[in-house]
Amino acid sequence: MNILELRRRVRRGDEVIVEFTKDIENYETCIDEGMRAIVVKVDNTDGYECSKVHFDLKPFDEYNDLYAQANYYDKNGIPNQTAKENGQYPVDGIEYCYFADNIDIIEFIELDQVVEN
């Protein structure tokens, strides 16, 4: 499902839970592949074919810790810290990214799948 469809679902009032695919690595974010979030808002950026998507990571903190990659550098230049360890993880759990409207970088999770996992 692309970002345009995601925007429609969120505006309709659906609670949309997503799991990020490997493609998230191509974006400037603390989110890593396999992490989950609730989409809280999708803003259209006027004049551009992209959207600003706001994610709430907080409900999945413990789950997401299992997928956090140590790709932040310590003072010695070694990538051995996660976003939380490096202070790059949002304290309130809200992270946003800009995505082209026609891109598929997230997988949609049905609520019963979340309960089972």
Per the domain annotation, does 42 fall within a domain?
Answer: yes
Per the domain annotation, does 68 fall within a domain?
Answer: yes
Per the domain annotation, does 93 fall within a domain?
Answer: yes
Per the domain annotation, does 43 fall within a domain?
Answer: yes
Per the domain annotation, does 116 fall within a domain?
Answer: no
Q: What was the pLDDT predicted at 109?
A: 72
Q: How many domains does the chain have?
A: 1
Q: What was the pLDDT predicted at 95?
A: 96
Q: What was the pLDDT predicted at 44?
A: 84
State the Cα–Cα distance between residues 31 and 88, nearest whole angstrom: 10
Domain span holding position 45: 3-111
Kindly indicate the confidence band of residue 115, based on its pLDDT and cuts at 50, 70 and 90.
Answer: low
Per the domain annotation, does 86 fall within a domain?
Answer: yes
Q: Are 89 and 56 in contact (CB under 8 A)?
A: no
Secondary structure, 3-state, 29-75: CCCCCCCEEEEEEEEECCCCCEEEEEEECHHHHHHHHCCCCCCEECC
pLDDT digits (tens, 9 = 90+) for 35-75: 999 999 999 877 788 899 999 999 999 999 999 999 899 88
Per the domain annotation, does 106 fall within a domain?
Answer: yes
